[in-house]
Amino acid sequence: MTNAILSRLHLPLFATAFAAISLTAVAADPVVIVTQPKDRRVTDQTPVTLTVKADGTEPVTYQWFRNGTAIAGATADKLELPKVTFADSGAKFHVVVKNEADGKPASVTSTNATLTVVTPGSALTHRYSFAKDASDSVGNANGTLEGAAAINNGKVVLDGQRGTFVNLPGGLIAGNTAVTFEFWADLGVNRNWARVFDQGSTNGNNGGHDLYFSPRRGQNYGITIMDPHPRERVITARGNLDNSTNLHVACVLDPSSGFMGFYTNGVLVASTNGLTSFASVDTNWFFLGKSLFGGDPALNGSIDEFRVYNVGLSADAVAASYKAGPNAEIKK
């Protein structure tokens, strides 16, 4: 059989295959929203990014609206709001996403994302100043001094001996969608895995689903979420915090922005933008100076003030708090 005859025999097969490929190539899907923009609750001067995720045949176009009015130039899948103010509180944002499917325009409108701007004082839920004891001056979740823990000059002194710690009530962050832990401390030399704070649950002699800050964990220090043990989400910096005096630390976790990080003395040390949730963290126990793991050492140091906020403080708010100091008046 000649090549010419073979070509004539195969031509219909090639044509059919090409037609199928062509039909597949031109098929178009109308746009749909896969991930809606989220509400945000932040402090003043926080940069805010709202995002939407859409699926559909390209090209896909975007137009963001604020309180029903189109925002000039806001035509991407992200809306950047540089350092929002109290005047922005209550604003509602949505986005209209469009494409063309099989020659017909397709359009879908997102749900509204509401922006709420609060003061750090209104977001402060617990404050332990250790003037005389472990009383909570904001949330009335009073703690107790255990072992040799003692108040001296407005600080709780922890001697690093097992059984010496501050026992706070469980549930301090129950229901929070974001949280900031803030403290001022003087730290001595600590052994690996000592805790400034640790909160979560226990399973026998081990902690589980806990969230803690350690000033020394091997060759680094920082925040850990056990999800549960031994799985970890960790943000750390190289070194340790031994012999630190007048140390200010703010640990910020805000899943709505993805941020998980910590500041020392008003400066961001380490962070990630990949935090999606800390809903797996249990709230059964909350200790200052003690680990939920029975074999870990106790903290050697003193804590001047310990605070819990139900919002992720902005970098500006953290810096302002550090500058004001541990005994500052906090206005709502």
Average pLDDT over residues 246-274: 97
pLDDT at 200: 97
Kindly state the average pLDDT of the residues 86-108: 95
Mark whether 164 and 212 lie in a shared domain: yes
Domain residues for the domain of 51 are 32-118
Angle, CA of 272, 168 and 301, to the nearest 5°: 70
Domain CATH for 259:
2.60.120.200
pLDDT in tens, 125-170: 999 999 999 999 999 999 999 999 999 999 999 999 999 999 999 9
Confidence grade of residue 9 (pLDDT, cut at 50, 70, 90): very low
Give yes or no: residues 291 and 239 share one domain: yes
Residue 17 has pLDDT above 80, yes or no: no
State yes or no: pLDDT of 251 exceeds 60: yes
19-49 pLDDT, tens digit each: 444 444 456 899 999 999 999 999 999 999 9
User: Which tens digit of pLDDT belongs to each residue from 171-212?
Assistant: 999 999 999 999 999 999 999 999 999 999 999 999 999 999
C-alpha–C-alpha distance, residues 277 and 178, integer Å: 9
Domain identity same for 106 and 166: no
Give yes or no for residue 225 having a pLDDT over 70. yes
Specify the pLDDT at position 227. Answer: 87
Query: Where does the pLDDT of residue 230 fall: very low under 50, low under 70, confident under 90, or very high at 90 and above?
Result: confident
Q: Do both 203 and 82 map to the same domain?
A: no
Flag whether pLDDT at 11 surpasses 60: no
- Report pLDDT for 101: 85
**Domain check: are 184 and 109 in the same one?**
no
- Arithmetic mean of pLDDT, 216-230: 93
* Paired tokens of 165: 């710690």
Residues 312 and 165 in one domain: yes
Assign residue 83 the CATH number of its domain.
Answer: 2.60.40.10
**Is 288 found in the same domain as 155?**
yes
Q: What CA–CA distance (Å, rounded) separates 95 from 80? A: 13
One-letter-per-residue 3-state SS of the chain: CCHHHHHHHHHHHHHHHHHHHHHHHHCCCCCEEEECCCCEEEECCCCEEEECEEECCCCCEEEEEECCEECCCCCCCEEEECCCCHHHCCCEEEEEEEEEECCEEEEEECCCEEEEEECHHHHEEEEECCCCCCCECCCCCCCEEECCCEEECCEEEEECCCCCEEEECCCCCCCCCCEEEEEEEEECCCCCCCCCEEEEEEECCEEEEEEEEEEEECCEEEEEEECCCCCEEEEEEECCCCCCCCEEEEEEEECCCCEEEEEECCEEEEEECCCCCCCCCCCCEEEECCCCCCCCCCCEEEEEEEEEECCCCCHHHHHHHHHHCCCCCCCC
- Would you say residue 25 lies in a domain? no
The per-residue pLDDT for range 298-321, each reduced to its tens digit, is 999 999 999 999 999 999 999 999
Contacts of 225 (CB under 8 A, 6+ apart): 210, 211, 232, 233, 234, 260, 278, 280, 281
* Cα–Cα dist 40/114, whole Å: 6
Domain boundary (118, 138, 154) is at 118
Question: How far is Cα 248 from Cα 325, in angstroms, rounded to an integer?
Answer: 9
Tell me the pLDDT tens digit for each residue of 44-92: 999 999 999 999 999 999 999 999 999 999 999 999 999 999 999 999 9
The total number of structural domains in the chain stands at: 2
Residue 123 has pLDDT above 80, yes or no: yes
Contact at 8 Å (CB) between 122 and 84? Answer: no
State the pLDDT confidence band at 10, using cuts at 50, 70 and 90. Answer: very low
Same domain, residue pair 112 and 127? no
Residue 331 domain flag:
no
Q: Quick one: pLDDT at residue 21? A: 44
- For residue 102, what pLDDT is reported? 83
| 263: pLDDT strictly greater than 90 | yes
Write down the pLDDT at residue 28: 84
Which pLDDT score is estimated for 72? 98
Residue 18 clears pLDDT 50, i.e. is over it: no
pLDDT for res 103: 85
